[in-house]
Amino acid sequence: MDNKYRYFNRDISWLSFNYRVLLEAADPTVPIYDRINFIAIYSSNLEEYYKVRVAEHKAVARGGYSEDMTQDEARELIGRIADEVNRQLEDRIDIFQNSILPELKRNRIVFYQHRQEVDPDHNEFITNFFREEIFPYLQPVPVSRSRVKVFLRADRLYLCTRLRRKDNGVTEYYIMKLPYSKVPRFVELPQKDGNYYLMYMEDIIKLNIGLMFPGYEVDCSHCCKISRDADVMVDDAPSAEVMVEQLKKKVKKRKIGAVCRFVYDRHMPADFLNYLIDAFGINPDELVPGDKHLNLEDLAHLPNPNPDLKRGEPMPPMTLNYLNKKQSILKYVAKRDLLLHYPYHSFDHFIHFLYEAVHNPAVKEIMITQYRVAPHSEVINTLIAAAQNGKKVTVFVELKARFDEENNLATAELMQKAGIHIIYSIPGLKVHAKVALVLCREKDGKAKTSYAYISTGNFNEKTATVYSDSALFTSNPEIVDDLHQLFRVLGRELEAPSFKHLLVPRFNLVPQLLGLLEYEKQEALAGRPAHVVLKMNALQDKAMIDELYRASEAGVQIDLIVRGICCLIPNQPYSRNIRITRIVDGFLEHARVWYFYHGGEEKVFLGSPDWMRRNLYRRIEAITPVLDAKLKREMMDMLHIQLADNRKAVWVDEHLRNVYKQADKESEVRSQHAFYAYLKEKNR
């Protein structure tokens, strides 16, 4: 029998989210440099999307295996993706050219985009800068259909130039890599009449390229770049050592992976483009027309020469008054649970927690998971100090964290040299849990109060300043024991754990979720209040979506706060009681928090997984209930504030459109600012 339920396509849904990011760049109420940064984020997101998702679909379209789609379905999806991306890129160009550049100009920053705009007084500077700072690093290479093909590296910006010899009129083509590592992408020119001036490095090259080719006439120059398949699949290995060697080899091959996108300046003449396609062996379905300037993720580093031009209202991470440097976090958590919300709260509190563990003689062992850590991580340095101080330190390192494989390998080797016990990835599984455990013993060996930490975000000082996450510290002995069992599972010491509170995929997560949803459904059918609020990054698993559809049909009120992928379709007969909210603002919404009314007993959970198939069935995740009544209320208040957002929140409708919530100025709620104010008031 056909399933009456329907779902959004995962990839098209993700493009809807990324378009919501782009809409921030179009918002005139957002400070101009924040708008520019949203264009950079949008572009960076799209780059990774092509490297991973589109590359995967193209492999299927070429005959590769997929359990999700046929070869023809993959081809059809690639076409849909191309159509939507091209539509969005048109909007991106329009926003940048017709909104952002004029706004910069109003703020006395002139960002040259075309030859005609350049003030004659800057010509001498531009020529001298080219000769002295850029020219020494340029290496033009001839492009020919008949010769050996030039290899294009992924993510690098290239300038292609068509020339004609003056002596015989023969047309020749050259390509050169832009010297990013030697010269800034954005060059600041001398001020004039109180105005500041910026220019792309490639535009300076174009204005002076004739100096590189005496005896030639320059016809035109255009930029291009390629994206390569960057997904690294590590086969199951008989040992950690073999897995490490496999990963090292495959990460190196990422730079030479199959081409999945060839982006080019859309103003490039058709015959020029065809020549490059032929010379580089590019398939037509890999073509993506771009703007004159590519790699716009670099705009995140656009200089701001105007000291009067500020970014948005700052929200510096706050230090909790009752956890100042004189207060022991371990002693505090021994008495009551502690909840932190990054980046509203300072990540230094977690560093302080670890630092105390290093120097507390009762602490005998520290266990922690590593998924994505910051370069030169203070977390890693503190763990190394713990090992050097005689503590037993165990770190589970997930080698398969995409794009962080090399960093994870390097930090793992550093920790091993310091005497830390490293447990590498479990074959066939990815460990995505963000947990830490501090085990204490009395001098006579008897157990003492120990500490568990369960978070929605990584142990990463850098992302903790821009990702919105929640984390629970607790000394609850049952949660501590649950977490200890989980680490024993990771260490291959325990196969059948018995968790009292933690929810962990492959053991008890899905059955518990089904039970919680069934309870709400029965309450609704009995005419009693039933309400579910689910905050997460992605909702994709069809089995769980079906459960939400069935709960909606029974009358359960369901509010979803989903930042990214959401395959559930609202406003259908079977989803009439489901609302989807998406929030995009200065911080990246990253927390996973679940609320169930549960007959008035109200249950709140936080942890690491989204409701995607991989998280629910193929990963190790950790979710904890929030048991302290005050902290539970704090989490519920956070959800209520986010649902009330009518400034940066949109509804996702049945057509995947981002529909802004309407509000007058008096009743405006901007949830990130409102929650910061809420926490600040509590901290008083």
- Computed over every residue of the chain, the mean pLDDT equals 91
Which tokens in the block code for residue 24? 């921030």
Point out the residues that are catalytic: 432
Which residues, including other chains, have CB under 8 Å from residue 318's CB and lie 6 or more apart? 344, 345, 346, 679, 680, 683
Residue of 273, 104, 117 whose CA lies nearest to 206: 117
- 157-195 residue pLDDT tens: 999 999 999 999 899 999 999 998 899 999 999 999 999
Domains 137-185+209-296 and 509-683 share a fold: no
pLDDT of 544-589, one tens digit each?
999 999 999 999 999 999 999 999 999 999 999 999 999 999 999 9
- Report how far residue 200's alpha carbon sits from residue 187's, in angstroms, rounded to the nearest whole number: 6
DSSP string, 591-602: -EEEEE-GGGT-
Q: Where are the domains of the chain?
A: 137-185+209-296, 321-490, 509-683
Using pLDDT thresholds of 50, 70 and 90, give the confidence band for residue 327.
confident
Taking only the tens place, the pLDDT of each residue in 428-447 is 678 899 999 999 987 766 77
Cβ-based neighbour number of residue 170 at 10 Å: 10
Tell whether the torsion through CA atoms of 545, 551, 552 and 554 is positive or negative: positive
pLDDT bin (cut points 50, 70, 90) of residue 1 is very low
CA distance 61 to 68: 12
Given a cut of 80, whether residue 12 has pLDDT beyond it is yes
Residues 499, 483: Cα–Cα separation, whole Å: 8
Within 8 A by CB and 6+ apart from 528, the residues are 599
**Percentage of the chain lying above the pLDDT 90 cut:** 73
Range list of H helices, 50-172: 55-61, 71-95, 101-106, 123-129
Superfamily of domain 509-683: Endonuclease Chain A (3.30.870.10)
Dist. CA 554–CA 651, nearest whole Å = 22
- pLDDT tens digits, one per residue of 281-291: 888 878 888 88
No. of helices (H) and no. of strands (E), the chain: 19, 27
pLDDT, position 299: 96
- Distance CA(210)–CA(164), nearest Å, equals 11
The per-residue pLDDT for range 84-110, each reduced to its tens digit, is 999 999 999 999 999 999 999 999 999
* Second CATH level (architecture) for the domain 321-490: 2-Layer Sandwich (3.30)
pLDDT of residue 322: 85
Pairing of strands 578-583, 557-562: parallel
| The residue count for the chain | 684
Residue 477 has pLDDT above 70, yes or no: yes
Which pLDDT does position 56 carry in this prediction? Answer: 87
Q: Does domain 137-185+209-296 have CATH number 3.30.365.10?
A: no
Q: What is the pLDDT of residue 19?
A: 98
Q: What is the pLDDT of residue 445?
A: 67
| Higher pLDDT pick, 145 / 144 | 144
pTM above 0.85, yes or no: yes
